[in-house]
Amino acid sequence: MKAGAARQLDAFLDMLAAERGAARNTQDAYRRDLSDYIAHLSGNGRDPGAATTEDIRAYLASLEPRGMSAATVARRISAIRQFHKFLYVDRHRGDDPASALDGPRLRRSAPGVFSTAEIDRLLTVASEGLDDETRPAGERLRAARLYALLETLYATGLRVSELVSLPKTAAHSRDPFIAIRGKGGRERLTPLTDRARRALLSYRKLLEEMAPERAGSSFLFPADSDSGHLTRQAFARDLKALASAAGLPAAAMHPHALRHAFASHLLQNGADLRVVQELLGHADISTTQIYTHVLDERMRAMVRDLHPLSETTEKLR
User: What positions carry a catalytic annotation?
Assistant: 159, 183, 256, 259, 282, 291
Contact of 126 with 150, CB cutoff 8 Å: yes
Q: How many CA atoms lie within 13 A of 75 on its CB side?
A: 13
Residues forming a β-bridge with 167: 219
Contacts of 297 (CB under 8 A, 6+ apart): 268
Tell me how far apart the alpha carbons of residues 230 and 239 are, in angstroms, rounded to a whole number: 13
